[in-house]
Chain A
Amino acid sequence: MSGPAGQPSPLVFAPTLRGRAVFCLWAALPGILAAPFLFWQGAIWGVLFCMLWAAGVAALWLRTGSLTAELGEYALVIRAGRFFPTRRTFPRASIASVLELGSPLLRMSGARVLVLLSPGAGAILPGLPRSQAELLCEELGHPVPAAWEPPPEDAP
């Protein structure tokens, strides 16, 4: 992680095109399964539902296209979104566990989905290349530089 002059430079992770495609396919599947029931209610309902669901999947595609994760010495910063930008800071000490998901399609595309879990919050990093996902899991598994523990407060 060290860069020039010993300064730690953050590791940057971003999803691949194929990884994003698989993730968006997962998102589209429930809509594909539910669409016949909506068409059964009426063609207009079916068309409306398909348009809305397709818009949601398109928005997810755009969002994952702008997703990056930077792992610094003390925190993981996740940025996503162009029209609704979001920046999330996860202190490394707060990340309790990382779940690595791999399905047959993801393995074919050479990608993984990571789910970060911390008390009170979580995040999904979809479509990361397999090597980057393993590197991130390994780095997050390293002990965080010892945080200062305040001594027990003595009674005044």
Chain B
Amino acid sequence: MTGAPQRYHPLYALGFLRRAALVCLLPPAQALLRGQWAELTEAVWQSLGLAVLLTAASLVILWAGSWRLTADGQLVLGWVLFSRQRRTIRGSDLAAVQIERPILCRLTGASLLTLYPTTLDQRHKVQLCLSRRSAEALADALLPVPVEQSYHPRGGERMALAVLGAGGLSTLLLALLSLRQSRNYLPVSPGLAPLDQAAALAARWLPAGLAWFVTLAAFLFGLSLLRSFSHTVRYAVWQGGGALASRGGLLRRTERRLRLSALSCAEVRLTPLARLLRCYPVYLTAGCLRGEDAPLFVYRAGQEELLRRLVPGLHLPPVGTVPIKGRSLAFFLPSGIAFGLLGLMTLVSRWALPALTAPLALLTLAALGGLVSAAEGYLREGAWPRSGRLTLLCQRGYSLRCFCIFASAPVLTVRQSPWAVAAGRADLLLNFPGRVRLRVRSLPVPDGMACAAFLEQPPGPERTDPV
């Protein structure tokens, strides 16, 4: 594999063709919608000609790009169309490597290899379409996968399955309600008769159109859950040799490797569902790989030892409340405004539009949930150096996020407004490689200074927690 330049997999050209396919399909579609058959024949010939041109362009793009692995393990990407370009990537500069095999790739023997640099942002990640063997060999050369261990945490499957089940049931119920509401406009289906009694009370409050809208939203949510569940099938995560690896997926097989020394932060997210099921998802950020789309793994309460084995050196923020004297009430602004407005609209709708009272009441309840989460953030959000690591607790939306900072040299900003100066409070902002930012709101100034003093010490195990 080293030495001679190699071409990308032909699927790479298909990516360009797929984006341009709309240009080919538009003229015949327009003619078809207008019902003009003579024009349709001409449009089809035009589209065929255009498709031939685009295919030729795709083949030229395929020919222009190349890659090769040098003897000292550097990846060199080349481009020779209109200008000569060369980009050199060292394995040591990569924070993470991901190999994805969607269905189309698996059918054609291809793999999508994504490289995440340590210090650059998301725009500079590199995605290559290679043959399966080339992708594996290249990934092994740039970031070798550790030896797979015997224990694989499987909490993610149970959690996703439970949420999927709940989502499926609620979608089914909503579909029945919608059908019930639509009965006035459609012929009566005898199959619905036994379910009328159970659905009548709730169905009375939902207009048919809104019911179908909510059903569609729940159906789409269910589809996304199904997708998440498919990611957790045969899922395993393990670490060793300075790297953390995960592999799994049913329809889209994904393997991800993270370099532990390039880890920026680890996040344990306490969502309402995670607290209910006592299964907590863990997200890792390394370089420009944010990992917010899917948790790397999910661990159950009581498995903290496993968590520390997979992510050595991980510490979580302390449990308990923080001093709230002088804390900014801006915590409650977004959810408070939403709750107030929706509550008012719910009350007004009792007289003006009774059909909308129930959905508005649902939205008001959701805003109340946001207000409760904001209250928890008000009582608990903070930053603490612990055992040589900086830990943060932040509230975002309905969840509480626990961060452990691994980056040895993040940039820290302590920012105050005139009102915060008077109250002795400040906001803390951390910037990591890859343009990742974290913010802790309305911290006591001494705590902010303690975090700054912690980072001004030399990085390493000798870093002591400020007194």
Contact-residue size bin, chain B (C-beta under 8 Å from the other chain): 35 or more
Contact B456 A91 (CB under 8 A): yes
Chain B 409-444 residues near chain A, CB threshold 8 A? 409-418, 421, 431-437
Contact B456 A121 (CB under 8 A): no
B293 within 8 A of A: no
Q: Give the chain A neighbours of B313 by CB distance below 8 A.
A: 150
Contact B412 A89 (CB under 8 A): yes
Q: Give the chain B neighbours of A153 by CB distance below 8 A.
A: 239-242, 260, 312
The answer to whether residues A119 and B460 also contact, given A86-B413, A94-B411, A154-B241 and a CB cut-off of 8 A, is no
Q: Give the chain B neighbours of A150 by CB distance below 8 A.
A: 260-261, 313
Contact B456 A75 (CB under 8 A): yes
Contact A121 B411 (CB under 8 A): yes
A42 within 8 A of B: no
The distance in angstroms between the C-alpha atoms of A145 and B460, with both chains bound, is 12
B119 within 8 A of A: yes
Contact B460 A147 (CB under 8 A): yes
Stretch at the interface among A22-30, A48-56, A77-85, A133-141: A77-85
The answer to whether residues A155 and B240 also contact, given A87-B414, A120-B434, A120-B435 and a CB cut-off of 8 A, is yes
A115 within 8 A of B: no
B49 within 8 A of A: no
The residue among A72, A73, A90, A149 with the most chain B CB atoms within 10 A of its own CB is A90
Q: Give the chain B neighbours of A121 by CB distance below 8 A.
A: 411, 431
Q: Give the chain B neighbours of A93 by CB distance below 8 A.
A: 408-409, 459
The residue among B260, B412, B413, B458 with the most chain A CB atoms within 10 A of its own CB is B458
The distance in angstroms between the C-alpha atoms of A148 and B416, with both chains bound, is 33
Contact-residue size bin, chain A (C-beta under 8 Å from the other chain): 20 to 34
The distance in angstroms between the C-alpha atoms of A74 and B460, with both chains bound, is 12
The distance in angstroms between the C-alpha atoms of A120 and B378, with both chains bound, is 28
Q: Give the chain B neighbours of A84 by CB distance below 8 A.
A: 415-418
B197 within 8 A of A: no
The answer to whether residues A89 and B242 also contact, given A74-B458, A84-B417 and a CB cut-off of 8 A, is no
Q: Give the chain B neighbours of A91 by CB distance below 8 A.
A: 408-411, 455-456, 459
B320 within 8 A of A: no
The answer to whether residues A155 and B149 also contact, given A90-B411, A120-B431, A120-B432 and a CB cut-off of 8 A, is yes
The answer to whether residues A96 and B119 also contact, given A91-B456, A150-B261, A156-B149 and a CB cut-off of 8 A, is yes
Contact A77 B456 (CB under 8 A): yes
B363 within 8 A of A: no
Q: Give the chain A neighbours of B435 by CB distance below 8 A.
A: 120
The distance in angstroms between the C-alpha atoms of A93 and B241, with both chains bound, is 25
A109 within 8 A of B: no
Contact B408 A87 (CB under 8 A): no
The distance in angstroms between the C-alpha atoms of A8 and B437, with both chains bound, is 31
Q: Considering the complex, give the chain B residue whose CB is closest to the CB of A74.
A: B458
The distance in angstroms between the C-alpha atoms of A148 and B463, with both chains bound, is 10
The answer to whether residues A94 and B149 also contact, given A148-B461, A153-B240 and a CB cut-off of 8 A, is no
Contact B242 A152 (CB under 8 A): yes
B204 within 8 A of A: no
B72 within 8 A of A: no
The distance in angstroms between the C-alpha atoms of A73 and B118, with both chains bound, is 25
Chain A 98-122 residues near chain B, CB threshold 8 A? 118-121
Contact A119 B119 (CB under 8 A): yes
A-B pairs with beta carbons under 8 Å apart, 30 shown: A72-B456, A75-B456, A77-B456, A85-B421, A87-B414, A89-B412, A89-B413, A89-B452, A89-B455, A91-B408, A91-B409, A91-B410, A91-B459, A94-B411, A118-B411, A119-B119, A119-B433, A120-B119, A120-B411, A120-B431, A120-B432, A121-B411, A121-B431, A148-B459, A148-B462, A152-B242, A153-B260, A153-B312, A154-B241, A156-B309
Using a CB–CB cutoff of 8 Å, the interface residues on chain A facing chain B are 72-75, 77, 83-94, 96, 118-121, 145, 147-150, 152-156
Would you list the 9 A-B pairs with minimal beta carbon distance, nearest first? Answer: A148-B460, A155-B240, A152-B242, A119-B433, A94-B409, A91-B409, A119-B119, A121-B431, A121-B411
